[in-house]
Amino acid sequence: MLIQRITVGEIKLPLKVPFKTALRTVTDVHDLVLIIETDTGLKGYGEAPATAIITGDLLGSMRAALTLIAPKLIGRHLLDFHALLRTVHLSVVHHNSLKAALEIALYDLRAQQFGVPLYQLLGGGTPRLKTDVTISVNDSATMVQDCLRAVAEGFDALKVKLGGRTWLEDVQSTLAIYHAVGSDIALRLDANQGWTPKQAVQVIQALEAAGLALEFVEQPVKADDVAGLKFVTDHTLTPILADEAVFSVEDALYILHTQSADVINIKLMKTAGISQAIEMANLTRHHHRTCMVGCMLESGISVTAAAHFAVAYADVVTLIDLDGPQLCKGSAISGGLTMDGPWISLSDAPGLGITGVHGLTDVHQY
Ligand code: MG
């Protein structure tokens, strides 16, 4: 079973509402899509968003890096799976999101080759997950409205974006949300690096003093300020989660060893795909910790892959933040995951179970 053709293109889906964090405002999901085809007619699908401000990936830079990798994959045998992954990772440094898209497509093909859904190839599990949903940072009244709508849709965990304004506004918005939705709804705060360590402690301690049991606070400080992250973890009772601070197994190991955060957020677009996500999950288990699986602004292909990974590693991946497709108006794929409110279900079709992509533009073939 030889790799015969690699197709690259782009999909664009408008978001239901603008996605606003301390780092950026985005109105569309505009992602790179890869289709790797074999001489036996199998198609493996991959996807990567251009999250320049977090991973450094741009659509153009991913396409440019692909010119270095794709020709080296054509004509290779799929049974050479681990050598194929090495080619993906060693042909160019960085470009983690592109590498994730390539790995996702290769894992999709490998599972199809064996006739099993990807989660079974990765170890099995129950193919059903419950995700939270993101609430963008806005004025308090808008945030409360968005939260109440999400709760009415069945979500019982809200990922509330904060930061990029005064710490007092962040406290006031969180209190307003808490009083509107009640204590049965889990509140996950994500400052996206928007606070200084001292501001973070001030916000979290104020909310703790007001009696809020936050599920966790995510990436309160700058990605490269691990000492600041540890300061926040050491001075608050609320679990602290590391997101932008963790890309590699080495990052995760350092944060776990130094106890700089309580929980790690694994995203395939940061880990450069499934293989390092697996290593990170195993590392987390070894340290008797749990982790979250998250996504960038991604649509159905890469989020389906993340869901398969999460199902197979459900013993350590206990927090699910895979709302990307939920935030989009419409879908660009046939097959793959099914979303019903907070529930994500995976089919037992081989691989990712994706049968097609619609509306692909700027198509190029290798
Ligand atoms: Mg985050």
56-79 pLDDT, tens digit each: 999 999 999 999 999 999 999 999
Distance 220 CA to ligand 1 centre (A): 9
Please tell me the predicted confidence (pLDDT) of residue 54. 94
Please tell me the predicted confidence (pLDDT) of residue 320. 98
Q: Could you tell me the fold of the domain covering 3-115?
A: Enolase-like; domain 1 (3.30.390)
Please tell me the predicted confidence (pLDDT) of residue 264. 97
Please tell me the predicted confidence (pLDDT) of residue 360. 98
153-212 pLDDT, tens digit each: 999 999 999 999 999 999 999 999 999 999 999 999 999 999 999 999 999 999 999 999
268-290 pLDDT, tens digit each: 999 999 999 999 999 999 999 99
Please tell me the predicted confidence (pLDDT) of residue 90. 97
CATH 3.30.390.10 residue spans of the chain:
3-115
Please list the alpha-helical segments (H only) found in 37-95.
52-55, 59-73, 81-90
Please tell me the predicted confidence (pLDDT) of residue 221. 98
Please tell me the predicted confidence (pLDDT) of residue 237. 98
Q: What average pLDDT score do residues 244-273 get? A: 97
Distance 245 CA to ligand 1 centre (A): 10
| Band of residue 108 on the pLDDT scale cut at 50, 70, 90 | very high
The residues near 180 (Cβ < 8 Å, ≥ 6 apart) are: 144, 147, 148
109-156 pLDDT, tens digit each: 999 999 999 999 999 999 999 999 999 999 999 999 999 999 999 999
Burial of 83 (0-12, 13-18, 19+ CB in 10 A): exposed
Give the number of other CB atoms < 10 A from CB of residue 238: 21
Closest CA to 281 of 316, 319, 321, 247: 316
Alpha-carbon separation of residue 133 from 80, 146, 223, 262 (angstroms)? 38, 10, 23, 21
Please tell me the predicted confidence (pLDDT) of residue 223. 97
296-353 pLDDT, tens digit each: 999 999 999 999 999 999 999 999 999 999 999 999 999 999 999 999 999 999 999 9
Residue 36's H or E segment, with its range, is strand 25-38
CATH 3.20.20.120 residue spans of the chain:
121-355
The dihedrals phi and psi of 21, each to the nearest 5 degrees, come to: -130, 180
Q: What average pLDDT score do residues 259-268 get? A: 98
Instruction: Give the dihedral sign, CA 273/275/277/280.
Output: negative
The dihedrals phi and psi of 43, each to the nearest 5 degrees, come to: -125, 125
Distance 218 CA to ligand 1 centre (A): 6
| Whether domain 121-355 has CATH 3.10.620.30 | no
The Cα–Cα gap between 186 and 201 comes to 20
Please tell me the predicted confidence (pLDDT) of residue 249. 96
Distance from chain centroid for Cα 243: 10
The neighbouring-strand residues paired with 291 are 264, 317
Please tell me the predicted confidence (pLDDT) of residue 291. 97
Distance 187 CA to ligand 1 centre (A): 14
The Cα–Cα gap between 247 and 97 comes to 11
Say which DSSP state 329 is in: S
204 half-sphere exposure, CB direction, 13 A CA radius: 30
Distance 194 CA to ligand 1 centre (A): 11
The residues near 293 (Cβ < 8 Å, ≥ 6 apart) are: 265, 266, 267, 277, 306, 309, 310, 317, 319, 320, 321, 322
> Tokens representing 121?
């190839």
Catalytic residues: 161, 267
Please tell me the predicted confidence (pLDDT) of residue 60. 98
Please tell me the predicted confidence (pLDDT) of residue 6. 98
Please tell me the predicted confidence (pLDDT) of residue 189. 98
Please tell me the predicted confidence (pLDDT) of residue 151. 98
> Tokens representing 173?
């918005």
Distance 90 CA to ligand 1 centre (A): 28
Closest CA to 131 of 295, 316, 330: 295
